[in-house]
Structure 1
Amino acid sequence: MTSPDTDLTHSVNLEDKKIKTRLNKLQKRLRREVGQAIEAFNMIEDGDKVMVCLSGGKDSYAMLDILMNLQKSAPIHFELVAVNLDQKQPGFPEHVLPEYLSGLGIPFHIVERDTYSVVKSVVPEGKTTCALCSRLRRGTLYGFAEEIGANKIALGHHRDDILETFFLNMFYGGKLKSMPPKLVSDDGKNMVIRPLAYAREKDIEAYAELKGFPIIPCNLCGSQENLQRQVIKEMLQSWDKLYPGRIETMFRSLCNVVPSHLADPALFDFKNLQRGYAHGIVDDEDACATSPSSVQFMERIDILSL
């Protein structure tokens, strides 16, 4: 007969084993998804210096953790430097990120800019401050990346953020537009990458909880949550519960765009479609084949037969 202490120890060990197993599975999944995104979009190349933007939220913590993990086994050499923008919100725990990053042994910078006062002086009381705050934050980080010689800026947006932004632009902006996994800033000076583009928010949330990241909430400024984004988030979460697999299918559609089957004449040359050519498009070889004999023996496909 075992003692109560022995039973308790056994239960604790069993629970610890379950937690470790779950953590390992999540880490492997996130590693795989981040690795796939990096490869698919050529996000990180040999010799890159990647500025990893750390907000104190679960997403950026997970991004840094996975990138550091991949860095150890990557076949190429690249640098990582963590950067946090202290925007001087009242109550911001300034000690949390320096202590955490010092423990990791990674190079880091804390950039202090009082964007909080700027936002509060411009945005009327009760209005959402997120849009202006985001623009100011982005401009500061872009400039700092140039200062430290970073040629890539990594942001922690994940698959759910990308889908939410897509529907926000569709429903409220009248555009088929989202957050691309990789982009160049408007001035052409900065390359932005989103290594978590293939990762699910619920996996990141679970991973952050198991890893015990020191999360800093994004409500210190007292601004209202972006209500439109919250509506979209709830819609997607509802679909995910009611129709398993729908979120995955929707995201795959963003990676499999067919311009000829949409309706943007600036994106696809509808005006010059011609019968007798594959998909109605005259390619360079077709254009050069002007002799009667060439035309006679040229194999053509009617778009209506596809």
Structure 2
Amino acid sequence: MFTIKRLLGQIRRAIQDYDMIQEGDRIAVGVSGGKDSLALLVALRQIKNFLPVKFELEAVTLTMGIGEFDLSPVKELCKKIDVNYTIEETLIGKIVFEERQEKNPCSLCANLRRGALHNTAKRLGCNKVALAHHMDDVIETFLLSTFYEGRIHTFSPVTYLDRKGLYLIRPLIYTEEKLVKEFIKGNNITTVHNPCPANGYTKRQYIKDLLWDLKKDNREIKSNIFGAIKRSGIDNW
């Protein structure tokens, strides 16, 4: 119960700090089937019961067109929490890994998935898309951009896409990945295996492992980096 209250408190604080949700919003939650997106979906559904403003939720999953992808646990969860669930069939995996045979597939894959998710959200009448990027993702993206692109950049809490007329919101930005894991375990939520062939073999995984090693000497390293990002004012922070 403590984990649930803590997670909901962090999400609610992020929503309030960055004015993420307004009256009448219709929010598409990008649901991969992994721990982060399922935790966000369940938490937003609970927050919907006590947040002062009224809003609606839609759960959206994109298939990749490759690998086994049993979405029955997600279907059951959405039915249980009374959230409409849409599965959008795509061939993104085939394009990236078979047709293009990308050596570094993550960038192209992410761009294609973003476009498909945004189009689906618009079709469902949504004005916002909620993404499950948590604090660790913010930090890792900051380090990836610094190390490999030579620029200071990471996710913004709220982003407006003028071409689509959509807002992207990230309610998990104050939440560490370890708390998400505790939430999933504590609520007995069944996750879905990620069918991506590159899963676990990316530069992001390298950064994640690097942070784990650095934390052995400095337990505050993640909070220090996250604090620096907030104070820097980059990317509409």
Normalised by the length of structure 1, the TM-score is 0.72
Q: CA deviation at 1:226?
A: 4.6
Q: CA deviation at 1:230?
A: 1.7
AA aligned to 1:81 is E
Q: CA deviation at 1:33?
A: 0.8
Please state if 1:256 is matched with 2:221: no
Change (3 A) 1:102 1:86: same
Corresponding position of 1:167 = 143
Corresponding position of 2:202 = 227
Corresponding position of 2:40 = 63
AA aligned to 1:148 is L
Deviations 1:19-72 (A, max 9, x none): xxxxx1111111111111111111101111111111000000110111111110
Q: 1:128–1:225: 8 Å Cα contact kept in structure 2?
A: no
Q: 2:76 pairs with 87, 99, 103, which one? A: 99
Larger RCO (CA within 8 A; separation ≥ 6): 2
Q: CA deviation at 1:249?
A: 1.9
AA aligned to 1:25 is F
Q: 2:135–2:177: 8 Å Cα contact kept in structure 1?
A: yes
RMSD over aligned Cα atoms: 1.8
AA aligned to 1:108 is Y
Distance 1:231 1:114 in 2: 27
Q: 2:5 pairs with 14, 21, 28, which one? A: 28
Q: CA deviation at 1:224?
A: 5.5
Distance 2:198 2:130 in 1: 25
Change (3 A) 1:35 1:85: same
Please state if 1:90 is matched with 2:95: no
Unaligned runs of 5+ in 1: 1-23, 260-306
SS at match of 2:42: helix
Change (3 A) 1:33 1:81: same
Q: 1:239–1:247: 8 Å Cα contact kept in structure 2?
A: no
Change (3 A) 1:139 1:258: closer
AA aligned to 1:185 is L
Please state if 1:236 is matched with 2:211: yes
Q: 2:45–2:81: 8 Å Cα contact kept in structure 1?
A: no
Number of equivalent positions: 234
Distance 1:67 1:96 in 2: 18
Deviations 1:205-250 (A, max 9, x none): 12112222211122x2323645321221112122333212221121
Corresponding position of 2:174 = 198
Corresponding position of 1:76 = 53
AA aligned to 2:26 is K
Corresponding position of 1:8 = none
Please state if 1:179 is matched with 2:155: yes
Q: 1:111 pairs with 73, 88, 102, which one? A: 88
AA aligned to 2:203 is Q
